Amino acid sequence: MKICVAGDGAWGTALALTLLHNGHRVVVWGAFPDYLDEMRTTRENYRFLPGVRLPDTLEFSSDMSVALADADMVLLSTPTQYLRPVLKQICGNFAPDSVFVNVAKGIEVGSWKRISEIVADEIGRVTFVDLSGPSHAEEVSRNVPTAVVAASEDINAAETVQSVFMNEFFRVYTSDDVTGVELGGAIKNVMAIAAGIIDGMGLGDNSKAAMMTRGIAEMSRLGEALGGKRSTFSGLSGIGDLIVTCTSGHSRNRHVGEELGRGRQLDAIIKSMNMAVAEGVATARGAYELARQVKVDTPIIDEVYNVIYNNSSAVAAVRSLMNRKARQEND
């Protein structure tokens, strides 16, 4: 296949390498021609994936119509909050039978929509698959064994993506639960901020284990109310992604939480991240608003929201969670 990767960040680049390994032709599109020229010359994505050599066969283009020409598959790796302008460039330039594969994880601020809904808004009904799970770009780019899930309402499309991406170090399962997979991938970033806050405060393993366990219960409760399957949140895009994002030093969302737990201000944290995007910051607001729409209790999401947007202290957030009314575990 010819595959267009719409986004030159770490994750899009790592998956481009996986696709090249599998014998596909890959063109990476990026919004900044000068940076694409640097990557083409140096064969390195030094901003987002430093130290990983990019094969000479990896192509680059800042012209969307060129990147999409004759493409069988379009990989959407643009952060959620910047996706609509990219989709406007894609609109009208892709083949009708193209398969769209989303690998970003988030909820759009304002509309509170998932990525499949944003895609439908901007380019209409297309063959759409989500590829999600516990998969840091830094490890995938170095062929560390990884497992993810491809979710689509069209199971044949999910199986196509499975066959295109799967190899000896990148294992792909399939699912028909687009809603659940998208929500799991998005909301776990909010939980990762909570995990980072715990680490930044130096609270220890007990606190983090409690938060992660109650976090997956909260994700499942909210996700099911929004139309996902409860079982999905026990899988790769639920508890799997939650574990890796809450515990890994690669996690940008956990890093944001850790710095918040140490008392730093959010603006200063974001400025220090060298253009890296922590989707959980925006998703905390989206999850908070969605929980109110469907009247679901989300205490961890609420406290992360309060720390980020209401200037609440980490200490106050922990105290609020620990002093909630007593209840049964599976209530």
State how far the alpha carbon of 66 is from the alpha carbons of 34, 87, 96, 98, 123, in Å: 17, 15, 16, 15, 18
| SS3 per-residue string spanning 307-318 | HHHCCCCHHHHH
* Catalytically active residues, by annotation: 188
Following DSSP, what letter does each residue of 37-63 receive, concatenated? HHHHHHSEETTTEEEEEPPTT-EEES-
Alpha carbons within 13 A on the beta-carbon side of 190 = 31
